[in-house]
Each structure stands twice: as C-alpha cells, then as structure tokens.
Amino acid sequence: MARNVLVIGGGPAGLAAARALGRLGVSTILLEKDGQLGGNPIKNHYHTLIPRKLKPSQVIGPYIREVEQNPNVKVLLNTELTACEGEPGEYRVTLSNGEKHEVGAIVVATGFEHFDPRRKGELGYGLYPDVITNLELERMFSQEGRLYRPSNGQLPKRVAFVFCVGSRDRQLGVTNVHCCRYGCALSGLQGSEIREHYPDVDVFCYYMDVRTYGTWEYPFYWAPQEKYGVRYVRGRIAEITYSPADGRLRVKHEDTIVQRPAEVPMDLVVLVLGMEPSPGTKKVAKILGLAQDPDSQFLVPSDESGSNIVSNKPGIFIAGACKGPIDIESSFSEGEACAAEAAAFIGAKVAV
C-alpha cells in the first residue's frame, strides 16, 4: 500500500483536499492542468462569490497560499494525468510532464466548464457585442471596475439578465436538462450591484422560475427586488435581435404571467450560463474508468456506498463540480471529506 495521495484538479475542491491532506501529514501530489491554482473563480476573474459576497482572493487565496507553502504537498502546474495502471492502494500513474508515481489513493476534483452560448444562436452571442455572458460581466466589475456597453463604451440604460442559458433546456438534448444551481442567486447579486452603483440603470431578470436554494432566498431574490428595485419577468426568450434605427437590442419573449408576447428594447443583455463537465473530467473518467451519468456526463458515486464522494473504483474519491453543479463552499467541504476518506483508505498515520 502506497502512502501518498494524488489530487487531480487545483480548483476549490482539489485545493481543500490537498490542504487537508497536507495538514494531516500525508504526502500529496496536486495536479493542475492550467498555469495557476484556483479553478474557474481565479481563471475567469470572478468579482464576488456567493453566498458570503467575498472576493475570490479572500475565499480561495488562503487555500492556495497554504497548499503552496506546505512541504507535504507537491504542486504540479500545467500537468495532467495521462495514464493509470495497477490496483487500489498501488495505482501507478503517468503524468504529462513525464513523471511516474505510485499512489495509494486518488481524489478527482476536475471541475466544470461554462456552457458555450454560441450553441444558442437565437440569443445573439458573438453576433451583437452588447450580448455578453455573466462571466464577462464579472470581469467588467473585477478588472475594469465599471459597467459599460462593449459596442460604444457607454453606460447602459437598461440591462437584462437571461436565466438558464444552457440549463434546463431540452432543446439541447439530455445533456443540458439540469439546473446550474448558482445562476439565479448570482444574477440577483449582480443585478443588485448594478442598481447600487448605477441607480439610474433599469435591471430586468427574465426567468422560467427562480431557484435560490436554502438560505439564499432573501439575499438573492427578495432583496434585489425590495431593496434595489430589480425587476423580475417570468418568460421565455424567443430571440434577441438588434435595431439599427436606435442602436439597441430587442428582447423578444413570451411573458408567461400575462400570457402574451412582448418585444423590449435593451442596451445590454447578460446571458447566465449553465455548467457542464470540463474536458478534464471526461478525460480523467476515461483514464480511471469512473462511472458517469449517461445524460450529463458528470461523475457519479458508487451505488454500493451511501457517500456521494466514493467512486465506483476503490481508493478513488470524487469531489466538487466534476459531479454536477455545486457552490464553492460545498466544494470545499467535499474536498475535505475526500481527504479524510483517502487518508483512511491508505491507512495513514496522521499528524494531529
């Protein structure tokens, strides 16, 4: 039985697993395919994280620093898993940098990718510059510190959020029928931030229904409306077009409350993107022989375990968004749980 652990993925779940293992005195190898740790929140320059409304540097930064400074954790950036052989407790792994290691257990935390809105051509992304994604809005806030229309650099007068782009959409097939979990809450937060800093900008949220889970209901649904004046419109978007007459977008939709079609002028449209398995998740699943949901292709836990982090392969544990949409705090918790399972599996004598 090898006494070290391989963690695949340096996002929130992988960082939490590596940090916990390092604290326990377990020799750990942390792989990250990109050139930096932190996953999507760092790579995509998220501005504010839900639910605590903190910056990524405040939430993820301490994990990154501790992992990088812990002598028990070997961080390998720009590195991927390319092969795995052997038996549970003695997995022989080959890495893209040419290294080979024998590890006792593996934690898979390969995360997700955001839906490509070009697959919904009727929404005009890539065709009209003032149709942007919620990621691009986050970067506006975090990197430029202002709200503007990409077409002319001016402050928009009317902003629309379109929920569930790439989520709960049977037109895309069975791969995208799941809820992204974060979109409704993040849109409420982003809409509130716009109204707080630009009170003359009107903000509209177009939704099928609103899913603000657990304690997120008031701060990310009611408060945006009651405190900041964000307007919610229940309706399905048919098409987003552009009018050269006034240089504004047109949001064509069916208002399902009053049951009639409508066409509304907007200056900026924000598409709220769904979540899909990352290419790394699909690749690692194939290499390790991990079970995947036949529709979404997210990883699924073993049917023989009551735990949602135990995979179908003994000694391999799965955490975070590689299993489906999940918030960052829950990803941290799952990563830490996987660390405990991995340490127990290899029979590590932990340092307390």
Task: Pick the closest to residue 87 from 326, 267, 314, 320 (CA basis).
Answer: 314
**DSSP string of 191-260, one letter each residue:** HHHHHHH-TTSEEEEEESS----GGGHIIIIIHHHHTT--EEEEEEEEEEEEETTTTEEEEEEEETTTTE
Judging by DSSP bridges, how do beta strands 268-273 and 275-277 pair with one another? unpaired
Task: Supply the pLDDT for residue 78.
Answer: 98
Domains of the chain: 4-114+276-345 (3.50.50.60), 117-273 (3.50.50.60)
Please give the chain's pLDDT, 352 residues, in tens.
Answer: 789 999 999 999 999 999 999 999 999 999 999 999 999 999 999 999 999 999 999 999 999 999 999 999 999 999 999 999 999 999 999 999 999 999 999 999 999 999 999 999 999 999 999 999 999 999 999 999 999 999 999 999 999 999 999 999 988 888 899 999 999 999 999 999 999 999 999 999 999 989 998 999 999 999 999 999 999 999 889 999 999 999 999 999 887 777 778 899 999 999 999 999 999 999 999 999 999 999 999 999 999 988 999 999 999 999 999 999 999 999 999 999 999 999 999 997 665 5
Structure tokens belonging to residue 268: 């900026």
Judging by DSSP bridges, how do beta strands 260-266 and 248-255 pair with one another? antiparallel
Place of tokens 């070997």: 74
Task: Supply the pLDDT for residue 66.
Answer: 98
Task: Supply the pLDDT for residue 173.
Answer: 84
Task: Supply the pLDDT for residue 351.
Answer: 58
Task: Pick the closest to residue 281 from 112, 167, 105, 85 (CA basis).
Answer: 112
Count CB atoms within 10 A of the CB of residue 234: 16
Task: Supply the pLDDT for residue 228.
Answer: 97
Task: Supply the pLDDT for residue 352.
Answer: 56
pTM equals 0.94
Structure tokens belonging to residue 188: 């409420």
